[in-house]
Chain A
Amino acid sequence: MNGPGLSFPVEFDPTLPRRHSSGNIFARFFLVSTWAGIAALALLMLTILNDSIGYVIITTEVDPASLAVNGVPYEEQTNQQLTDILANHLSARRLRVLEKETPFADLNQAELVLLVEQEVLDPEAAATFSMVQSLFDRSMVNAELAEHPGATMQMRFWLQPGLLSNSGSSNALLAGIRTALYGSLWIIAITILVAFPIGVGAAIFLEEYTVDNAFYRLLRANITNLAGVPSIIYGMLGLAIFVRGMQPITSGALFNAVSGDPAAATGRTILSAGFTLALLILPLIIINAQEAIRAVNPLLRQASLGLGATQWETIWHHVLPQAMPGILTGTILAISRAIGETAPLVVVGAATYITFDPTGPFSKFTTLPIAIYQWVSRPQPEFRSLAAASILVLMALLLSLNAFAIALRNRLQKKQ
């Protein structure tokens, strides 16, 4: 084939079928990887669900039926009757200890029922089964039940109200995540409050106020690098700066607000943890906010400046509102990361076992991922179920935070 008007021959090889087929190979590959991802996710959810529902065989110190009075089960008895049960079944020493913690007269009926369960019944999970075992291997479950005379068996969804309302306990049946949940919420609140304004502020400064010289180029490159630093190193940093360096502040000593606990007095508090996680996600927020600010149409800036607006007015009225959806998206990602962090908090000094709710930024803390980590590392299967249910709570927390941020972002976008 000779190209018209060309002085040399030109030939084209019509390879369209081959080009299509190589395109199809890629398309098929991407399809497979997408489905592999979906399958992995489904498997994960199934594993968690599998562990969080199933039969439990429960043995108790005392037969619950024996506590009934005139056919009224102990759960429905009056305060006086419950106090009597405690007095009849516990040693005098144990009674004194409990009475000293909180006088029985100050407890309401539900709290007394819980106390009876803990102290008198002291239920124990003799055997715990997964969902698959419960559904498809009844003979094994029944054989196990037969080995525990007097035991009761119940189908238990471990994500039950008690999981949220009880605090940590060495008894899996009575353990809950209340303190860990409060700890996580407190820490995330502090992390957002610290990291969002500082991160967005730094991004504004870097994008709008710095000139493009070697120093700031190096600075920007380093912020990107910081986003890749392993989180445990932020834990070391938090330990050095917040726990040790700023101890008077983070322990609350400066404000006369030390929580009374020896661990908290050393600065191993919610405040230190929040600051540490803020430090951890700061680079992520800065990078994403910079990206969002850079994406704002330069014509918009020119329009604003051309009307005699100052640089700050231009940023505040036009650049930030335009960039906010992008900034929020970056912040969502950063917070999701912070919520699941364990290692840096362990370094900063998360408590492994606390039963008292955090009362403020100067309390000692534990968090959901730490509680989960502790439970999965125990050998008994009932703690694995407890962990699985807690993972569901963590995921729900994460999803609701994200949903909130996405709703906020959509509202901002619609306003324009």
Chain B
Amino acid sequence: MLSSNIMPYAQSNIFSKTGEQEEAAGASGFAIEARNLSIHYSAFRAVKNVDMAIPERKITAIIGPSGCGKSTVLRSFNRMNDLVPGAHAEGDVIFMGQNIYAPQVDPVEVRRRIGMVFQKPNPFPRSIYENVAWGARLNGFKVGLGRPSMDEWVENCLRKAALWDEVKDKLNQSGLSLSGGQQQRLCIARAIAIQPQIILMDEPASALDPIATLKVEELMQELARDYTIIVVTHNMQQAARVSDQTAFFTVDADRAGMLVEFGDTRQIFTNPKDSRTEGYISGKYG
């Protein structure tokens, strides 16, 4: 399939200020860490007291029944929840040694470092090329000696998203002219074009057919060489297939979501410690 030398620029410093911060991230060994995190929508507590430390350059899956707060937790990792009126987080989310909810932190900066792929493919109504280039340009993509040109960078990201061969002859066509699966890979290419450290994916394949789903899963595994991936899925086979770590969420008596068990994917699926996890993966409820 893909070879990782397709991305010769992965380590090069093409955005301002990336280098030092990557070092800071490496220090803890964890890409991102939730500490006693609770999230409210106005008065309703959607998620309570989540503690989880997500390993670097691995795929972490979040599973659980509908409404248990999987998306809520995921969105809190790059402060996308800030966009929901009335939503607020308590507790800490530590990223690069910093609580991203600290008052001095700019959520725009957080989202630039932690990319997101949504459930429904949402390419911009612009050309395929522009879809990839826009975010990079916006974030101060610099051309220069030893650095890629924008054209090379767009090609690199589309190759990385396993989309290049399908779109290389129609880069000027609208991103919306692609099929659903291609659109989703375009969204992934768009996300990696700004070189985030973490990519959050909220049920990225739930709107796709089985073949396109498989492609996205392969892509995720390929991307995990360079990126930390956190993926929400309601598809347990998918979690078992692609992820290294799995977190199981459920709701408690007052409908607040909570983390039940978090560990090695093989252990969660073969030897769960909690009876609720066992019940869920064996299909007893949820």
Chain B, 115-169, CB within 8 A of any chain A CB: 115-116, 118, 120, 122-126, 134-135, 138-139
Question: Which residues of the other chain, B, contact A211 by a CB distance below 8 angstroms?
Answer: 85
B187–A308 touching, CB < 8 Å:
no
**Contacts of B124 on A, CB cut-off 8 Å?**
300, 303-304, 318
Q: Do A308 and B85 have beta carbons less than 8 Å apart?
A: no
A310, B122: Cβ atoms closer than 8 Å: no
For B118, the chain A residues whose CB sits under 8 A away are 299, 302-303, 306
Q: How many residues of B contact A (CB 8 A)?
A: 27
- Determine whether the beta carbon of A212 is less than 8 Å from that of B138: no
Bound form: Cα–Cα A322–B125 in Å: 9
**Is there contact, CB below 8 Å, between B80 and A313?**
no
- Contact status B83-A308, CB under 8 Å: no
Known: A301-B83, A303-B124, A308-B108. 6 other contacts (CB 8 A): A212-B85, A303-B122, A303-B190, A308-B111, A309-B108, A416-B174
Which residues of A line the B interface, CB within 8 A?
211-212, 297, 299-310, 313, 317-318, 322, 416
Q: Determine if B120 and A299 form an interchain contact, defined as CB atoms under 8 angstroms apart.
A: yes
Cα A308 to Cα B83 in complex, Å, equals: 13
For A310, give the chain B residue with the smallest CB separation. B108
Judged by DSSP, the binding face of A is helix
Q: Which residues of B lie under 8 Å from residue A297 when comparing CB positions? A: 122
Which residues of B71-126 have CB atoms within 8 Å of chain A's CB atoms?
Answer: 78, 80, 83, 85, 108-109, 111-113, 115-116, 118, 120, 122-126
Q: Interface centre among A297, A302, A306, A416, by most B CB within 10 Å?
A: A306
A183 to B126, CA, bound (A): 42
Chain B neighbourhood of A305, CB < 8 A: 80, 83, 108, 111
| Contact of B112 (CB < 8 Å), options: A299, A308, A322 | A308
**Choice from A212, A302, A308 contacting B122 with Cβ under 8 Å:** A302
Q: Is B191 interfacial (CB 8 A cutoff)?
A: yes
CA–CA, A67 to B108, complex, Å?
84
What 9 pairs across the A-B complex have the smallest Cβ distances? A308-B112, A307-B135, A299-B122, A306-B116, A416-B125, A303-B122, A308-B111, A310-B108, A308-B139
User: Is B31 engaged at the interface, CB distance under 8 Å to the other chain?
Assistant: no
Chain A residues with CB under 8 Å of B190's CB are: 303, 307
CA distance A299 to B80 in the complex (A): 12
B54 on the interface (CB 8 Å rule)?
no
CB distance from A311 to the nearest CB of B (A): 8
For A416, list chain B residues within 8 Å (CB): 125-126, 174
A307/B126 in contact, CB under 8 A? no
Is B194's CB within 8 Å of the partner chain A?
Answer: yes
B176, chain A: closest CB distance, angstroms: 8
A313 smallest CB distance to B (angstroms): 6
Expressed in whole angstroms, the minimum distance between the Cβ of B158 and any Cβ of chain A is 16
A321 to chain B: closest residue by CB:
B125
CA distance A305 to B85 in the complex (A): 15
A303 touches B108 (CB 8 A): no
Q: Which residue of A lies closest to B106 (CB)?
A: A310
| Closest Cβ–Cβ distance, residue B192 to chain A (whole Å) | 11
Also in contact, A308 and B125, with CB within 8 A (given A302-B83, A302-B118, A313-B138): no
- Nearest Cβ in chain B — how far from A30, in angstroms? 35
Pick the most buried of B115, B135, B191: most chain A CB atoms within 10 A of its CB: B135
Which residues, 194 to 231 on B, are CB-close (under 8 Å) to A? 194
Query: In the complex the two chains form, is A317's CB within 8 Å of B134's CB?
Result: yes
B112, B124, B190 — which one has the most chain A CB atoms within 10 A of its CB? B124
Q: Say yes or no: B112 contacts A307, CB within 8 Å.
A: yes
A341 to B239, CA, bound (A): 66
CA of A297 to CA of B120, assembled, Å: 12
Q: Are B187 and A307 in contact (CB under 8 A)?
A: no
- A317 vs B122: C-alpha distance when bound (angstroms): 15
Contact status of A307 and B191, CB under 8 A, knowing A300-B122, A300-B124: yes
